[in-house]
């Protein structure tokens, strides 16, 4: 995972995968929601994040909240998850008019289940 022009990018073997926080959360939770209960998932998600420090930095006048930061384990896990997603899309091989890999739509008779 790296940042280019303030946009998170995952470097995949056939090209870059642009990701957002919402994409990563949907990918992560969609993968685990059928396999584990909510309590297990909450504890697991906490292990993927750096410990939260409530104390603001000394040069801050107003603290409106802090952005959660992935731990080293969290970065490795998310890299593996996005890599598997890229492998799945490459295996399916569907592309849009721009050549971007896209997931199949269920209404076309293709199911991801």
Annotated domain spans of the chain: 2-51+66-103
Q: How confident is the model at residue 106, as a pLDDT? A: 61
Q: What is the pTM of this model?
A: 0.69
What is the DSSP pairing of strand 7-12 with strand 15-18? Answer: antiparallel
Q: How confident is the model at residue 1, as a pLDDT? A: 58
Per run of 10 residues, the mean pLDDT along the chain (length 113 residues) is: 63 81 84 90 91 78 79 89 86 80 63 48
**What number of other Cβ atoms are within 10 A of residue 69's Cβ?**
11
3-state helix, strand, coil in the chain (%, to 5): 40, 15, 45
Q: At what angle do helices 21-32 and 72-92 cross, to 10 degrees?
A: 80
**Structure tokens that stand for 75 in this block:** 């970065």
Q: How confident is the model at residue 3, as a pLDDT? A: 55
Non-local (6+) Cβ contacts of 52 within 8 A are: 66, 68
Instruction: Specify burial of residue 23 (Cβ count, 10 A radius: 0-12, 13-18, 19+).
Output: middle
Q: How confident is the model at residue 111, as a pLDDT? A: 47
């Amino acid at each position: 995972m790296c940042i280019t022009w303030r946009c998170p990018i995952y470097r995949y073997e056939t090209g870059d995968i642009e990701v957002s926080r919402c994409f990563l959360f949907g990918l992560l939770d969609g993968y685990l929601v059928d396999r584990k209960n909510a309590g297990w998932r909450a504890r697991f998600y906490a292990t993927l994040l750096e410990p939260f420090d409530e104390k603001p930095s000394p040069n801050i006048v107003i603290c409106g909240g802090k952005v959660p930061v992935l731990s080293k384990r969290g970065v490795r896990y998310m890299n593996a998850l996005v890599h598997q997603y890229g492998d799945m899309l490459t295996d399916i091989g569907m592309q849009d008019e721009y050549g971007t890999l896209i997931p199949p739509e269920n209404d076309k008779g293709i199911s991801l289940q």
